[in-house]
Structure 1
Amino acid sequence: MTQLLEQAFERVRALPVETQDEFARVLLRLAGDDGEGVYQLTPEEEADLIEAQAEMARGEFATAAEVEAVLSKYRA
């Protein structure tokens, strides 16, 4: 197990049991061990991903000011 994964598990262990179960379900789904296979993107998610990859290929990234403007909306 990687150090990063161990750190994540330590943080999740400190959360309420119900929240731990939610994290476990997500992890199992991503790993394909939930009986449903590996996570499948919806058509909308796939379109968003394709567009994001095209934007990255064109070098279209948010400026530091744009990122700060979004983050400032969510800071306490």
Structure 2
Amino acid sequence: MTELLDRAFKAARNLPPAMQDDLARAIMAMTGEAMAVVQLTAEEEASFDESYAQAASGEFATDEQIRAIWAKHGL
């Protein structure tokens, strides 16, 4: 390990856990280790599950709803 990398790890130990995890993911991505980039919260996972269930049952936004969303964001 280089001196610079050693210094970086020592500095990283003082960061909050979430920032340490972000750094770890970046390093692992650079070394070819596959990891999820984003960790979903339980609430986010539940939201995705609900969305998948709605799609599976054919519940989609209407064209009018989509146009309203685009208009809201100036698109």
TM-score normalised by length of structure 1: 0.50
Gaps of 5+ in 1: 1-24
Structure 2: state its 5+ residue gaps: 1-21
Residue 52 of structure 1 and its aligned partner are, at CA, apart by: 0.3
Distance 1:58 1:33 in 2: 37
2:39 matched to which residue of 1?
A: 40
1:64 Cα deviation from its structure 2 partner: 0.7
The higher radius of gyration belongs to 2
Instruction: Give the superposed CA RMSD.
Output: 2.8
1:71 correspondence with 2:70 = yes
- Partner of residue 16, structure 1: none
User: Percent of aligned pairs with the same residue?
Assistant: 36
Runs of 4+ in 1 over 6 A off after TM superposition: none
TM-score, normalising length: structure 2: 0.51
Question: How far is 1:70 from its partner?
Answer: 1.2
